[in-house]
A and B are shown apart, each in its own frame.
Chain A
Amino acid sequence: MTRPTLRSNESVEGAGGRRKRSSARAAGLRTPGWVAWLFVAPALIVYAVFVLRPIALTVQYSMYRWDGIGTSTWAGLGNYVKVFTDPDLFASILNAVKLIVFFSVIPVVLSLAIASTIRRIATSRLALVARTVLFLPQVIPLVAAGIAWSWLLSSTGLVNQLLRWAGLGGVARAWLGDFSTALPAVGVIGAWVLLGLCTILLLSGMSKIDPALYEAARMDGAGPLREFVSITVPSLRQEIGVCVTVTVIAALASFDIVYVSTQGGPGNATMVPGLEIYYLAFTERQVGMASALAVVLMVLVLLVALPIQWLTKDRSS
């Protein structure tokens, strides 16, 4: 990539005259910097108008008390203090963190177990069919998943029917309507959506592991567990990282599933930041509070996503 080109010393056009490598490359392609910027400009403008500006505005709104119509009054960091001290608001953040167990931990652990069990038959016809089927939850709208599962988990739904059939009729209940089970029930929906994606992601990662590694381990007398710990998990570092990142973000920023299945209820049992922002901004007209919570959510997602990326990055490449 750093190979000098024939024409590299021919022209010194472009803005980066002092940064030798980049100007040499740009000159090699004989494209002045400003032309390249013209290529970037449209994307950058749309991004700036519809993403960067709103981000800046969210931060600005978060410092004010505003009902969205009248005049706004300066609130400083008051809204942020309230996000962390108001029990209802803080509970929504805690709920999102609890959802990580269901959206992230369960799918990742289960899919690791599943993928290593079906690794050997990963190329069979059954596995190919499974690949399509397991992807369905990723393709359908989350809203539809929410509707289908609300029905399954309702007091007369299939889940309770199965429980009664198994002689566990005592625990049957309206899972999404019960204070103690609503959040886990929402979590189950998320786990259903994300399990297939994780499984297939890990399976495709496993297909890249050299089978000789497993054979060598077998010859050294390693059991399946040892194989799993010493070969499978380390080789899947990057894929596991992706699964964790995707699922944790899905948990923290959940909206669609909760909106459809419980609307945050019963009470506030399943309220999550995404939904709380929506209610605060568009129902309760507390734009400042909504924005402060939005900033906290954006920072939270970044704080979680960046270290995972860093930890699981493939440093060899």
Chain B
Amino acid sequence: MIVGRRETWTGRLLLVVLMAVTLMPFVSLFVTALHPSGSYPSGLEWPSDPQWGNFAEAFKAARMIELVKSSTLIVLGVVPLSLLLGTLAGFAIGHLRMAGRNLVFLLFVLGLTLPFEGIITPLYYQVRDMGLLNTRWAIILPLIGLFMPFAVFWMRAHFVNVPDALSESARMDGANVWQLFWRIHVPLAMPALSSLAILLFLWTWNQFLLAIVLVDDPLKRTMSGALGAFQGQWGTNMPLLCAGSLLILTPTLVVFLIFQRRFVTALLQGSLKG
């Protein structure tokens, strides 16, 4: 195929401009973070005396270690359980195909587009009555419920495409449903499961609304919720706020850069299916 030279160069230029626009906010955060703490720098201007110490100060002010620990605990509570419940239900609806499956599936699908703000008010009272307010469970349990539509939808999409013959031959060998599920279907579902795990990790780590409503103590929140509190506390000290924001971004960025292929594929599939 003959590729027009000019077309290629327009494309390249466009890509570079697009990347520049995407990176601009990050660059601005970084440069501002290097200005003297408490100053009010203007625009994008390299400081005469870069204050690398701001990052250390923000690290202490934001209590980063405790924040990472808290977010990790929340992720560990949400992701494995959501995966397990979603896979079990997806397997039954997509592969075992019991009577009434269409109705249950529809019930889950209806929750796919639910805005979290829609139920946050009763959720607050419910979590309070359960005595879980201001604990990490207040974020973990509702999030598992809120992730169920997508997790079930995703795993069902995997299981409907698994041929019946696979189960039949395992059955001939005398396996019961439970063994069939764990020994044959779960290992085969690993690609679907790992993509789902990445998406759920991201959505949990970045969850903001539940964190600020259900948990007062920033140290028991997700990273995102803690950043909200950090902004409230240090909002007037721009360099420190920028340094803190960058630090809070770092864990997600690191995880993203390590698993970038999987992330991009997962997010693409995720939005296509959702």
**Which A residues fall within an 8 A CB radius of B?**
1, 5, 14-16, 19, 22-23, 25-26, 28-31, 33, 35-37, 39-40, 42-44, 46-47, 49-55, 57-58, 61, 68, 114, 117-121, 124, 126-127, 129-145, 147-149, 151-152, 156-158, 160-161, 192, 195-197, 199-201, 204, 211, 215, 238-239, 242, 245-246, 249, 252-253, 255-256, 259-260, 273-274, 277-278, 281-282, 287, 290-291, 294-295, 297-298, 301-302, 305
Instruction: Please judge, given known A-B contacts A46-B141, A197-B267, A273-B117, whether A26 and B44 are in contact too, CB under 8 Å.
Output: no
What are the 9 A-B residue pairs with the smallest beta carbon separation, nearest first? A50-B145, A161-B43, A16-B99, A253-B115, A36-B98, A57-B122, A39-B92, A148-B25, A43-B89
Which of A25, A35, A118, A199 is most buried by chain B, counting CB atoms within 10 A of its CB? Answer: A118
* Interface size range of chain B in the complex: 35 or more
The reply to whether B25 and A197 form a contact with Cβ atoms under 8 Å apart is no
Whether B122 pairs with A141 at a CB distance below 8 angstroms is no
From the candidates A126, A135, A302, name the one contacting B264 in the complex (CB within 8 A): A135
A127–B15 touching, CB < 8 Å: yes
Q: Which chain A positions have C-beta within 8 A of B8?
A: 120-121
A204 to chain B, nearest CB (A): 6
Task: Choose from B96, B108, B118, B144 the contact partner of A39 (Cβ within 8 Å).
Answer: B96
In contact, B245 and A148 (Cβ under 8 angstroms): yes
Q: Smallest Cβ distance from B153 to chain A, in angstroms?
A: 11
Please tell me if B142 contacts chain A, counting CB pairs below 8 Å: yes
Q: Do residues B43 and A51 form an inter-chain contact, with CB atoms below 8 A? A: no
The 6 sampled A-B contact pairs (Cβ below 8 Å) are A117-B11, A141-B227, A157-B43, A249-B115, A274-B115, A297-B117
Taking each of B92, B212, B242, B252, which has the highest tally of chain A beta carbons within 10 Å of its own beta carbon? Answer: B92
- Most chain A beta carbons < 10 A, residue from B99, B148, B177: B99
B145 to chain A, nearest CB (A): 3
Within 8 A of A (CB), among B1-56: 1, 3-4, 7-8, 10-12, 14-16, 18-19, 21-26, 28-29, 32, 40-44
Does A192 lie within 8 Å of B21, measured CB to CB?
Answer: yes
Q: How far is the CA of A1 from the CA of B92 in the complex (A)?
A: 16
User: Would you call the interface of chain A mostly helix, strand, loop, or mixed?
Assistant: helix
Q: Mark B97-126, 1 if CB is under 8 A from A, else 0.
A: 111110010011011011111111111111
Closest to B228 in A: A143
Contact B227 A28 (CB under 8 A): no
Nearest Cβ on chain B to A124's Cβ, whole angstroms: 8
CB <8 Å contact, A54 and B119: yes
Give bound CA distance, A37 to B98, whole Å: 7
Q: A148-B28, A215-B1 are in contact. List 10 more A-B contacts (CB 8 A).
A: A26-B99, A40-B88, A42-B88, A50-B142, A151-B25, A152-B25, A281-B121, A291-B121, A291-B122, A297-B115
CA distance A129 to B20 in the complex (A): 12
Complex Cα spacing A33 to B177, Å: 12
